[in-house]
Amino acid sequence: MAGVYIHIPFCRKACHYCNFHFSTSIQLQDSFVTALLQEIDLQQNYLLEPVSTIYFGGGTPSILPSANIKNIIFRLQKNFIIENNAEITLEANPDDITEGKLAEWKQTAINRLSIGIQSFVQEDLRWMNRAHTAQQAFDSITLAQKAGFNNLTIDLIYGTPTLSDEAWEKNVKTAIALQIPHLSCYALTVEPKTALAKMIQQKAVGDVDTEKQARHFELLMQWMKEAGYEHYEISNFAKPGYRSRHNSSYWQGKPYVGLGPSAHSFNGTSRQWNVANNALYIQSLSKGLVPFEAEVLTTEQQLNEYIMTSLRTMEGISLQNVKHSFGKDKYEYLINTALPHLNHQHLTIENDFLKTTTAGKLLADGIAADLFVL
């Protein structure tokens, strides 16, 4: 079981908080698609297993003409063994979602949409500099459902200065009422070199209120539990049968190939990443070369990645796995470093799995860093 990630590096507008690789100039779009098709051919031997998930992320994949999406999937089918029931997700922004586009996507193999809603509150969307309105956010979901895309996920952001507790409740409960089977909810983070970081530094907007974020996260967990969603990863909630297979395979350490500028690949022991520059990416592929750098992961790095990702999941860290794959010394080191967190009831051990408690979920990334093997 392996995954394919395709990075589409274009957006209509730059959201203030975003630090992903993208360009708002779409001049290079056609040459990018040519380069991407070329990269698919060149990377055909990267994966040894059949592909069970394909994920179009970005950037904003819904910007691409549907004919391009069709061609990309066709090229993947030509170069990789794609399982019949593969999960194929397209990230789409509400302002791109129309009846026409949905009908076109239905003609492709796409069977899951990930809609970048972020908020149903107009003031909040404006603060984030999103390209869509609150009405478009709402309409995009109902249009997608009408077109037969029932395997839907949406992203929501909490903890922004413009989002009151009441507005956050409205956002989450709107998603629940719309019967969206999967939600990804992220606390707003201020990444270095973003417009938001600059605005905070210049005091043009207030800094992030971490207490409010913690409160929003706690409320979120409560509402989602009441509504029957599984909290299967810190930021992800799913109705039974609707977990993201693609993201789950990242967290399980399965191999994947990332195609497109800035995309990362992982084959079990080494990681590689493409150049995060559209022009250089296109130039290199025109000469038949994939522009990437790579590193072979040490045993410690592999274990730390396993700790980082699995501690964020509902299942937690398999202590058996640590003992068998990384040895008794590493297992004992892990148990010892976990002790203070076990004593504070931020971690617990159940059926030989080390996992976060509800209180510990708020602190998961910090706890994982404490558990890292040096």
Q: Does 26 bind ligand SF4 (CB under 6 A)?
A: no
Binding range to ligand SF4, per CB under 6 A, among 52-60, 189-197, 202-210, 363-371: 52-60
Residue 210, class by beta-carbon neighbours within 10 Å (0-12 exposed, 13-18 middle, 19+ buried)? Answer: exposed
Q: Does 59 bind ligand SF4 (CB under 6 A)?
A: yes
Q: Which residues contact 42 (CB under 8 A, 6 or more apart)?
A: 285, 288, 290
Largest Cα span, the chain:
58
Site for ligand SF4 in 309-338 (CB under 6 A): none
Instruction: Please state the closest distance from residue 96 (CB atom) to ligand SF4, in A.
Output: 10
Site for ligand SF4 in 106-125 (CB under 6 A): 116
Instruction: Please state the closest distance from residue 345 (CB atom) to ligand SF4, in A.
Output: 36
Instruction: Please state the closest distance from residue 57 (CB atom) to ligand SF4, in A.
Output: 9
Interface pattern 80-99 for ligand SF4 (x via CB under 6 A): -------------x------
Q: Does 58 bind ligand SF4 (CB under 6 A)?
A: yes
Please identify, using beta-carbon distances, which residue of 24 and 299 lies nearer to ligand SF4. 24
Instruction: Please state the closest distance from residue 22 (CB atom) to ligand SF4, in A.
Output: 5
Please report which helix (H) or strand (E) contains residue 185, including its range: strand 182-187
Instruction: Please state the closest distance from residue 93 (CB atom) to ligand SF4, in A.
Output: 6
Q: Both tokens of residue 145?
A: 């459902």
The residue within the footprint of ligand SF4, chosen from 2, 4, 8, 15 (CB under 6 A), is: 15
Tell me how far apart the alpha carbons of residues 119 and 249 are, in angstroms, rounded to a whole number: 27
Residue whose structure tokens are 């999960």: 87
Q: Does 60 bind ligand SF4 (CB under 6 A)?
A: yes
Question: In 287-357, where does DSSP find H-type helix?
Answer: 299-311, 319-326, 328-343
The residue within the footprint of ligand SF4, chosen from 5, 22, 120, 331 (CB under 6 A), is: 22
Instruction: Please state the closest distance from residue 155 (CB atom) to ligand SF4, in A.
Output: 9
Instruction: Please state the closest distance from residue 11 (CB atom) to ligand SF4, in A.
Output: 3
Please identify, using beta-carbon distances, which residue of 13 and 323 lies nearer to ligand SF4. 13
The residue within the footprint of ligand SF4, chosen from 6, 8, 11, 40 (CB under 6 A), is: 11
CA angle 357, 361, 365 (to 5 degrees): 125
Please identify, using beta-carbon distances, which residue of 278 and 356 lies nearer to ligand SF4. 278
365 in Cβ contact with 372 (< 8 Å):
no
Binding range to ligand SF4, per CB under 6 A, among 10-18, 168-176, 240-248, 351-359: 10-18
Instruction: Please state the closest distance from residue 63 (CB atom) to ligand SF4, in A.
Output: 9
Instruction: Please state the closest distance from residue 128 (CB atom) to ligand SF4, in A.
Output: 8
Q: Coil, helix or strand for 100?
A: helix
Please identify, using beta-carbon distances, which residue of 4 and 15 lies nearer to ligand SF4. 15
Q: Coil, helix or strand for 343?
A: helix
Q: Which residues contact 307 (CB under 8 A, 6 or more apart)?
A: 317, 334, 368, 371, 372, 373
Please identify, using beta-carbon distances, which residue of 132 and 246 lies nearer to ligand SF4. 132
Please identify, using beta-carbon distances, which residue of 94 and 316 lies nearer to ligand SF4. 94
Q: Both tokens of residue 323?
A: 């003992």
Q: Coil, helix or strand for 271?
A: strand
154 in Cβ contact with 141 (< 8 Å):
yes
Tell me how far apart the alpha carbons of residues 214 and 363 are, in angstroms, rounded to a whole number: 10
Q: Both tokens of residue 232?
A: 């299967």
Enumerate the β-bridge partners of residue 135: none
C-alpha of 230 from chain center: 17
21 in Cβ contact with 70 (< 8 Å):
no
Q: Does 56 bind ligand SF4 (CB under 6 A)?
A: no
Tell me how far apart the alpha carbons of residues 345 and 65 are, in angstroms, rounded to a whole number: 51
Q: Does 14 bind ligand SF4 (CB under 6 A)?
A: yes
Q: Does 197 bind ligand SF4 (CB under 6 A)?
A: no
Binding site for ligand SF4 (CB under 6 A): 11, 14-15, 18, 20, 22, 58-60, 93, 116
